[in-house]
């Protein structure tokens, strides 16, 4: 199906300005993802790099940076609360403890990844927590008997990383 410039501009605006993922922008504009990706690639080939423009807008927006800091602060509070819960829990088995920690770590990693373009200091922290997340996966898969000790060590270590890398 052939689309006009207005439809391409709509997808571009949804992606670049409104910050939808390309998948969501294509859904919202009622075009296939493949079509939206093709338009994005063609625009880049013609000097209109949607990703660069999107990143530039993010970096210029102080509101985005403030929102990112609020999200990170909230996640830190949740992480600390969950850490205390894990330490005090007597009825939660090791696997459940690691699942809770993994869920929080996953949220933290995804959030930091989403805002790292506008907050360079978060980039180091995001990498650190991604490594911790991969280590958690490795321990669960290859050494599940170490999970309780891992939980005991990883929470304070994550807090140390958070302080040192900010």
Q: pLDDT tens, position by position, for the chain (166 residues)? A: 789 999 999 999 888 888 888 989 898 889 999 999 999 999 999 988 898 888 776 555 556 567 777 777 777 777 777 777 777 777 778 787 777 778 777 777 777 677 665 565 556 666 777 777 788 878 888 888 887 787 778 777 877 877 776 6
DSSP summary character for residue 38 = H
In this prediction, residue 107 carries a pLDDT of 75
| Closest of 33, 26, 20 to residue 7, by C-alpha | 26
Torsion angle of C-alpha atoms 121, 123, 129, 133, degrees rounded to 10: 170
Report the alpha-carbon distance of residue 116 to residue 95 in Å, rounded: 31
Is residue 95 within 8 A of residue 113, CB to CB? The reply is: no
Report the alpha-carbon distance of residue 18 to residue 38 in Å, rounded: 19
In this prediction, residue 6 carries a pLDDT of 92
In this prediction, residue 63 carries a pLDDT of 62
- Ordered alpha helix ranges (H), the chain: 5-16, 22-28, 33-45, 50-60, 62-88, 94-115, 120-142, 147-165
């Amino acid at each position: 199906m052939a689309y006009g410039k207005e439809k391409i501009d709509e997808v571009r605006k949804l992606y670049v300005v409104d910050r939808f993922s390309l998948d969501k922008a294509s859904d919202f504009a009622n075009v296939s993802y493949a079509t939206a990706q093709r338009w994005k690639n063609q625009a880049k080939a013609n000097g209109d790099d949607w990703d660069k423009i999107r990143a530039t807008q993010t970096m210029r927006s102080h509101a985005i940076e403030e929102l990112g800091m609020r999200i990170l602060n909230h996640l830190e509070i949740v992480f600390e609360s969950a850490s205390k819960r894990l330490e005090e829990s007597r009825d939660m088995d090791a696997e459940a403890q690691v699942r809770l920690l993994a869920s929080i770590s996953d949220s933290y990693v995804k959030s930091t990844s989403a805002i790292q373009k506008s907050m360079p200091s978060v980039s180091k922290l995001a990498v650190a927590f991604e490594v911790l997340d991969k280590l958690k996966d490795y321990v669960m898969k290859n050494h599940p008997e170490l999970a309780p000790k891992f939980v005991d060590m990883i929470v304070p270590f994550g807090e140390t990383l958070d302080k040192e890398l900010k």
